[in-house]
Amino acid sequence: MQTATISPVDTAAIRSTIGPWTKSAVDRDWDAFLALCTNDVVFMQPDGATIESTAARSWLESYPIIKRFEFDFDQIEGQGDLAYGRGGFRMTVEVDGSPAEVDGKFVDIFRRDAHGEWKYAVVIWNSNTPIGGA
């Protein structure tokens, strides 16, 4: 038995996380940022350790300052209460007091919670070039 794919309403709901996700990251509002995530969220950062949910807050506090952050989904698909989105991003982060441009790609896995909201469960990203374009 095959489950129906997620609806256009669900796809739109996932797409609507872009604004709150990027705003909370730039504002360093980690409460708002983590409210978009499941309680067991996992961050799989480039060139670094996997960050489990219990370590997320302290890891976010030490994350480089994000000056600009833009992303969009190229694809969103799913079934039932699971979905994934993939796409590209661009951001400007502060590294050693200087701005660095980061251009990359991502895959996010979403889980629908008991209230019907889509939450980030796994966040995976990497840059197309090393930070600063070196």
Instruction: Indicate whether 3 belongs to any domain.
Output: no
* Model pTM score: 0.91
Q: Output 46 or 130, whichever has higher pLDDT.
A: 46
Q: What's the CA dihedral at 118, 110, 69, 133 to 10 degrees? A: 180
pLDDT bin (cut points 50, 70, 90) of residue 134 is: very low
In total, how many domains does the chain have? Answer: 1
* pLDDT of 1 strictly over 50: no
Instruction: Indicate whether 91 belongs to any domain.
Output: yes
Instruction: Indicate whether 39 belongs to any domain.
Output: yes
* pLDDT of 40 strictly over 60: yes
Instruction: Indicate whether 73 belongs to any domain.
Output: yes
How confident is the prediction for the chain on average, in pLDDT? 93
**CATH number of the domain within which 116 lies:** 3.10.450.50
CB atoms within 10 A of CB 119: 20
Instruction: Indicate whether 134 belongs to any domain.
Output: no
Domain that holds residue 70: 8-128
pLDDT bin (cut points 50, 70, 90) of residue 50 is: very high
* pLDDT of 4 strictly over 70: no
Instruction: Indicate whether 30 belongs to any domain.
Output: yes
pLDDT in tens, 104-113: 999 999 999 9
Q: Are 121 and 37 in contact (CB under 8 A)?
A: yes
Q: Are 89 and 103 in contact (CB under 8 A)?
A: yes
Instruction: Indicate whether 104 belongs to any domain.
Output: yes
